[in-house]
């Protein structure tokens, strides 16, 4: 029995030595990096749904951007020349003044392409828009009465387009005339009032600018 107790006593220290205590984790120091994950504010930014106000703000900014692009393109197109030479709204070269302009005793000459009547008076030459200022009918020259008359409602005008009678509210509208030399230098041009223009030379080139209309004077 004494031997058994001695054997048990010698085995106890060995078993105790086999069980090692768990190593203690070192405390984090000031210099050690500590991974604590994303903050609550960051999680809120990632996970929070878009509010109605934010959606409306984004929609407004997007619409504003589209509007600016469309408006800029429309402005660019509008700024470009819209009419070429020989197209109504542009300029018409009628040739030499001596050929294009009738005599002062002659009837006005129609220019269908330029939608105008070239009329020569004692005061000078005018280019009259061939549309009646009443309701837009095409008037014509009546050699018997020696005046312009509108077949639609009877408005009547003198040879230079001055109102005579009828429902028209004013005299006929006029286009700007330019006389140039062969090099394109302007020799004479219709003034802002649209007064008849003196012919500088029969050899001058006559140009009618249908993009520049001078409204006839109101009567009464």
Reported pTM: 0.63
With b for 16 or more beta-carbon neighbours within 10 A and e for fewer, the 114-126 pattern comes to bbbbbbbeeebbb
d(CA 204, CA 200): 7
Domain boundaries, the chain: 91-214
Q: Are 98 and 109 in contact (CB under 8 A)?
A: no
The CATH number corresponding to 91-214 among 3.80.10.10, 2.102.10.10, 2.40.50.140, 3.40.1110.10 equals 2.102.10.10
What order do you get walking across the sheet with 163-165 strand by strand?
140-142, 147-149, 156-157, 163-165
Residue 9 φ then ψ, to 5°: -65, -35
Judge residue 16's burial from the number of C-beta atoms within 10 Å of its C-beta, 0-12 exposed, 13-18 middle, 19 or more buried.
exposed
pLDDT in tens, the chain (220 residues): 445 444 444 544 444 444 445 455 554 444 554 555 556 655 555 555 667 666 677 677 777 678 676 655 555 445 445 556 656 779 999 999 999 999 999 999 999 989 999 999 999 999 999 999 999 999 999 999 999 999 999 999 999 999 999 999 999 999 999 999 999 999 999 999 999 999 999 999 999 999 999 999 998 7
């Amino acid at each position: 029995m004494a031997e058994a107790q001695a054997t048990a006593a010698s085995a106890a220290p060995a078993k105790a030595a086999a069980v090692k205590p768990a190593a203690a984790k070192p405390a984090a120091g000031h210099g050690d990096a500590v991974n604590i994950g994303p903050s609550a504010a960051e999680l809120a930014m990632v996970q929070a749904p878009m509010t109605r106000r934010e959606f409306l703000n984004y929609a407004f900014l997007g619409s504003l951007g589209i509007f600016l692009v469309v408006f800029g393109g429309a402005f660019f197109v509008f700024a470009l020349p819209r009419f070429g030479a020989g197209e109504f709204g542009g300029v018409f070269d009628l040739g030499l003044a001596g050929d294009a302009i009738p005599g002062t005793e002659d009837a006005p000459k129609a220019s269908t392409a330029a939608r105008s009547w070239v009329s020569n008076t004692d005061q000078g030459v005018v280019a009259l828009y061939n549309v009646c200022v009443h309701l837009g009918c095409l008037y014509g020259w009546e050699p018997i009465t020696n005046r312009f008359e509108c077949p639609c409602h009877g408005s009547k005008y003198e040879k230079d387009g001055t109102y005579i009678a009828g429902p028209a509210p004013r005299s006929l509208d006029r286009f700007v005339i330019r006389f140039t030399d062969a090099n394109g230098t302007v020799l004479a041009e219709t003034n802002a009032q649209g007064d008849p223009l003196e012919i500088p030379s029969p050899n001058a080139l006559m140009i009618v600018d249908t993009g520049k209309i001078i409204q006839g004077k109101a009567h009464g």
